[in-house]
Amino acid sequence: MTTTEAGATAPSESTPDAGDTADTVVTDHDRGVHGYHKQKDEHLKRLRRIEGQIRGLQRMVDEDVYCIDILTQVSASTKALQSFALQLLEEHLRHCVADAALKGGDEIDAKIDEATKAIGRLLRT
């Protein structure tokens, strides 16, 4: 436990929650906190910008804009989504996979397999 300025105690990263055994490591991931939580607002802002790009594509088609101009915008939108996906993947590796590594056992193998499959899906795009 750690003590806050107000004198209250807060659980530390390695403090087991009620019902956990002494050798169980409790992580943010166990508490439902995902790797992107610290950048959630930035991610939402970025996704709204991408959403605007997609709406722009719809408008371009509706207004019969030249094909190559639409394809240029498709490329920009695709790159923006790929960049977002790469950032999310990095956060997953640093947080979720790292948490599983702390626990060891089958969980780390499952997280590595999951991340490898996600990378494979990203590469096929």
**Residue 1 and residue 38 in one domain:** no
**Residue 22 and residue 42 in one domain:** no
**Residue 61 and residue 112 in one domain:** yes
**Residue 22 and residue 41 in one domain:** no
Q: What is the pLDDT of residue 23?
A: 54
**Residue 62 and residue 45 in one domain:** yes
> Which amino acid is it at 26?
V
DSSP code for 96: I
**Residue 78 and residue 54 in one domain:** yes
As a whole number, mean pLDDT of residues 6-18 equals 41
Cβ neighbours for 20, distance < 8 A, ≥ 6 positions apart: 26
As a whole number, mean pLDDT of residues 15-28 equals 48
* Residues of the domain holding 15: 1-33
The answer to whether 99 and 27 have CB atoms below 8 angstroms apart is yes
**Residue 42 and residue 62 in one domain:** yes
Q: Give yes or no for residue 56 having a pLDDT over 70.
A: yes
**Residue 12 and residue 67 in one domain:** no
**Residue 29 and residue 42 in one domain:** no
> Which amino acid is it at 60?
M
Split into its structural domains, the chain has a count of: 2
Q: What is the pLDDT of residue 118?
A: 93
**Residue 97 and residue 40 in one domain:** yes
Burial of 48 (0-12, 13-18, 19+ CB in 10 A): exposed
